[in-house]
Structure 1
């Protein structure tokens, strides 16, 4: 029962608090929810990890929706987070805020400690106190770390993270499991696989490649191009999150069998789900597709593997399909075309 009255939260959820709503994925998810008539409260700290103007432009577009409200504050500010959540009275929370980026975690690990651990703890505490009907929390394919068997499945062990970023996300999964078990709080963790698309982050490869190629600058191609990624279009990703929102995990009864391939905990309403395209694309083919779309060849600066990076990622997305009937399927070439169209329009290049 909620602290806001006698209402008990269960699908369909109609009031959703989205942390990181001015971010790349958060913006797209909030926009999708709003277009479905769901009230959204966005919470974002507007950190300067990348161009804040890009975040503010996304923020302003969301504010055009009549059912969007917002709070600008850091996750680490427990008073601000609590006040925003209590005033909005959400029935679900999608926690997307946090310090992103694999490579930046080599330079500034404390930012990940503060945002991804302390901030996520605050979100879980708020969800517990308000007895939220479904808490969804972002994880990453990076938690698979040194795993070599692919495609990566949620039931695989993920005990070998290679960066502090991945370690903080793995810790979030473990923290979430404890909260789900102790407080019967339904929690879904979702692992993203190389998300790209319009309004993307400037630190990500597609953004950097397009910008450099159009300006005639070389692009850094790590591991001499011998890499592969499961590129997931942002529209497909947020559709997967939206559908999972209405499938909160339920604690199994003692002795209840869990279906094969389901990551549902035997002792908690907790589950982890991959959201990926389910296709491994070679980095060189990805760059070829960008060149074809731009009509300009890239100057490729072949580099050794970067510390903490992995040679390949590839999602087994069958659990997402099993739970929702949905599978991401945007062809990479079309997704690149949509990003390029946005980039040219936004930056006038």
Structure 2
């Protein structure tokens, strides 16, 4: 900094003000300082500035799994939104949804340079008495069942599921089977509970729950089981990847989609339009979810307050060719059915 000041013919204090973005520096002095910085290859020490200001412009993210497409897209959205605010992201994947793993993740963050944490996991893991949140670190949670201790943003899991199940019932299916995500997933539990509640409200039979692990392979294995159920004419899957495996299993066992079995997914990943047939699915707005989670953390950092209530990001059912009334072969469906 002294070298820059000497070359620019200004004081070290002026160099510091330019480096820190102050607007009180004369423009002619600012330009001389910037030119000297460029000539000498000077870079402000962001770590030292962070220690001096007490902020690191970094958000930590704790996420349960990177194997599901949904979590990867949430992470991408968080990183994009953070970058727009000139924040970096530090990722800590948690290998298992246990108090020990979550406690370890927050312990590591308490020893790291982060200003806030976004937790993409069930709030019950955060509320355990054994989990200690880092002091002065703000937390946002992607779980609609989190309490008022955090900034809470989540996809409207319940309404998205209701739309999917009601769509199938309105087509004339007597009931809807559910291929759920893993039991430890809070999103999978919310969707399974909403599926069951929707069938109960419609006074329909509730079939046995079938679990996958978010992967297409698990959807295929579950699909072989569902294909053997003669009364299964409609399936709501908890994500699109499992729906892909389900479609393969139904095709291999001679069950036509949607003539014999209608299938609805959840997420609306870009590939769903290329499934065979193109998949009816619930669209999640991952970009908005990530942006609101980042905004929730930053709002708490700037105001040290939590806005009451939960922010739910709306979903939208996208109807394509994988759903139809029961027993309607593809050639007999009305024109324009693909939606």
Could you tell me the TM-score, scaled by structure 2's length?
Answer: 0.38
Could you tell me the TM-score, scaled by structure 1's length?
Answer: 0.37
